[in-house]
A and B are shown apart, each in its own frame.
Chain A
Amino acid sequence: MELSDKLFYGLLAAGSLGALALCTLMGGAGGAAFALFAILVLAGSLLCIWERSVVRSAFCLIGTFGGTAGLFLLLGSDFLAMSQILIYVGGILALILFGVMLSPPDLTERKLPRVLSGLVAVGAGVAFVAAKVASTVNWVQAAELAEPEHATERIGVGFLAYDQYAIAFELAAIVLTVALVAAVYVARRRKIDLQDEGAQG
């Protein structure tokens, strides 16, 4: 393990533990639960860009997606949390891995410009989110808000019962279908291509 690796993992572990302790002291059990999932999300993303092996990077996304699902759970959106796991961890991540395992291994040196650009990207992301949160959240009002209710309990099958979402839902379905059919059309090998290959080989 190189020095930079040791430094990075050490900082990450220390930061995670510190954040966990801080949130637990401030928010009790709820704070600890939030800290756990937030750390999963952040550490997963940071590890994803730090790891040199592409496959390892992809596996780090489990933490990011799972942590996001946990945050949805804490907000009372059970359905969204389960969708997050089913679609992102079960489907998209499997596809990413499928693609990544077919790509050649990339074990190049971690060069300074790359590290710098990575740091700039992370910093810009954090700054954007912080600015957005600071400008939109009304902390005084938020403190007085009631606990979130289990409003999504029945959303599973009753999704289409709400009239205002039906058209948007159908439109999304059509867009996805068109994209899928187009992808298959682009990716498919026509009979002529196959015959050509056969003639060459």
Chain B
Amino acid sequence: MTPAHMLVQEAAPVTVGSGSNAFLEGLVATLGEYLPQWALWLGAAVTGVAIVMGLISLIAMFSVWLERKVAGHIQCRYGPMYVGWHGWLQSIADGVKLLLKEDMIPRDADRLLFMIAPALVLAAIVAAMAAYPLAPGVFFADLDLGVFFVIAMSSMTTIGVVMAGWASNSKWTVFGAMREAAQVVAYEIPLGVALLVPVMVAGTLNLREASELQSDWYGMGWFMFKNPFMLPAFVLYFIAALAETKRAPFDLPEAESELVAGFMTEYSGIRWSFFFMEEYAAMFLMSALAAVFFLGGFESPLTWAAGEFFGRELFVAGANGAKELNLQAIPYHAVAGLTLLIKTFAGIFLMMWLRWTLPRVRVDQVMTMGYKYLTPLALACALGAALWEAGKQALLG
């Protein structure tokens, strides 16, 4: 076929089954007679993007509600209470409000860049989200470069934020954008190096495979317990992830007490909500990476038990060699997917807890911490973990 098949592999819709794109295969089998292949690919890609967008909106809505609840309870109040049971519909009400709000563009802004910036930010995070595995056998894109892809795509959001800050043509936004650029450049290094530690132990960048490797010890063979350098690496990763996602105590790009709202001061309505969706989706992805590469991913004793009881293969070879859906294994995949989701939201909860507990640090303190402490510590961690693994191989063969 044409090289375009690689394109499709990158931006595929929900893929079921390991290794091959069963969704696309099924689509070609059923509709292949009526539509040309490129139309099917395009349709499948559009479907995939639509599903990821929906997922991001859901995550953002739930996280915003959770954030307000967490903030409320930490400050000895209730948070949203009136719209629905304990205010669970509050985010939907807010979403409708944001859609109806006037979309303002400042007179002196660079109109084109002002309009492109939120879209660029959202597009980057949608692309990154495609690597999130929903269950061991259900994923959008089963990428061999999984974690690398996520880091690369979420680094693109920085450009969108800088663009928004500059295009708004206001001193607050430019300050916010400058801080964002400096901060992300400083913290991308410790983030990547800290992630290198579990990647080194796993020997793979693929999220699904990394999770599979932790299924021993009755579902408790998490990388966290397999190497003594993993715990410091996890702490370093978490701190760097906070800075990458612009979360307190590193929310300097939007420090509201000094910069109004930082890089998004001039934005309103739905464009503003794009930045919010990006922030929560980025938190979700960073937590998901932490869950997959440090905390066992899909694996837990419950997942292990479900796997033993129901079987793990979502697809089995049928009568004439064709793949058939194994309905029995569905509970296992549901439990595994939920396990990862719960671990991810535990990470998000921790981020929120920190936000409402710690004061914001100063700009120079952020830079000092990134360059002088986190980077050398992360490098030391990576070196130690590598030596440990090499020693283990030499001693145990």
Chain A residues proximal to chain B, CB less than 8 Å: 27-34, 53, 55-56, 59, 62, 73-76, 78-79, 82-83, 85-86, 89-91, 93-95, 97-98, 101, 147-148, 150, 153-154, 156-157
> Which residues 96-145 of B sit at the A interface, judged by CB distance below 8 A?
110, 113, 120, 143-145
A-B contact pairs, 26 of them (CB 8 A): A28-B38, A29-B4, A30-B3, A32-B4, A73-B7, A73-B10, A74-B4, A74-B7, A75-B3, A78-B10, A82-B145, A82-B152, A83-B152, A85-B153, A86-B151, A89-B155, A90-B159, A90-B188, A91-B185, A94-B158, A95-B185, A97-B159, A101-B166, A148-B3, A157-B203, A157-B204
Does chain A have a CB within 8 A of B322? no
Q: Binding site of A, secondary structure by majority: helix, strand, loop or mixed?
A: helix
Contact present for B153 and A30 (CB under 8 Å): no
On chain B, the residues within 8 Å of A79 by CB distance are: 145, 148
Of A27, A32, A75, A97, chain B has the most CB atoms within 10 Å of the CB of A97
Q: How far is the CB of B51 from chain A (nearest CB, A)?
A: 22
Q: List the 9 closest A-B pairs by CB distance, nearest first.
A: A90-B155, A30-B2, A29-B38, A86-B152, A85-B152, A29-B4, A30-B4, A82-B152, A74-B3
Known interface pairs A59-B113, A82-B152, A86-B151; A33-B177 also in contact (CB < 8 Å): no
Does chain A have a CB within 8 A of B237? no
Residue of B nearest to A73 (CB): B6
Q: Using an 8 Å CB-CB cutoff, how does the interface string of B144-188 with A read, 1 for contact, 0 for none?
A: 110011011101101100110010000000100110011011001
Distance between Cα atoms of A53 and B158 in the complex (Å): 20
Number of A-B residue pairs, CB cutoff 8 Å, is 112
On chain B, the residues within 8 Å of A34 by CB distance are: 3
Residue of B nearest to A156 (CB): B205
On chain B, the residues within 8 Å of A33 by CB distance are: 2-4, 7
On chain B, the residues within 8 Å of A75 by CB distance are: 3
Residue of B nearest to A78 (CB): B145
Does chain A have a CB within 8 A of B37? yes
Q: How far is the CB of A120 from chain B (nearest CB, A)?
A: 29
Distance between Cα atoms of A102 and B3 in the complex (Å): 42
Residue of B nearest to A100 (CB): B166
Kindly identify which residue among A30, A55, A156 contacts B144, using a CB–CB cutoff of 8 Å: A156
Contact present for B181 and A157 (CB under 8 Å): no
Kindly identify which residue among B166, B185, B203 contacts A94, using a CB–CB cutoff of 8 Å: B185
Distance between Cα atoms of A89 and B120 in the complex (Å): 12
Contact present for B110 and A56 (CB under 8 Å): yes
Distance between Cα atoms of A90 and B152 in the complex (Å): 7
Kindly identify which residue among A86, A94, A156 contacts B181, using a CB–CB cutoff of 8 Å: A94
Residue of B nearest to A55 (CB): B166
Contact present for A94 and B113 (CB under 8 Å): no
Known interface pairs A98-B181, A98-B182; A156-B3 also in contact (CB < 8 Å): no
Contact present for A76 and B6 (CB under 8 Å): yes
Does chain A have a CB within 8 A of B200? yes
Contact present for B199 and A157 (CB under 8 Å): yes
Q: How far is the CB of A115 from chain B (nearest CB, A)?
A: 22
Residue of B nearest to A77 (CB): B6
Residue of A nearest to B154 (CB): A90
Contact present for B174 and A101 (CB under 8 Å): yes
Does chain A have a CB within 8 A of B267? no
Residue of B nearest to A37 (CB): B7
Known interface pairs A74-B6, A101-B174; A93-B159 also in contact (CB < 8 Å): yes
Residue of B nearest to A36 (CB): B7
On chain A, the residues within 8 Å of B199 by CB distance are: 157
On chain A, the residues within 8 Å of B185 by CB distance are: 91, 94-95, 98
On chain A, the residues within 8 Å of B181 by CB distance are: 94-95, 97-98
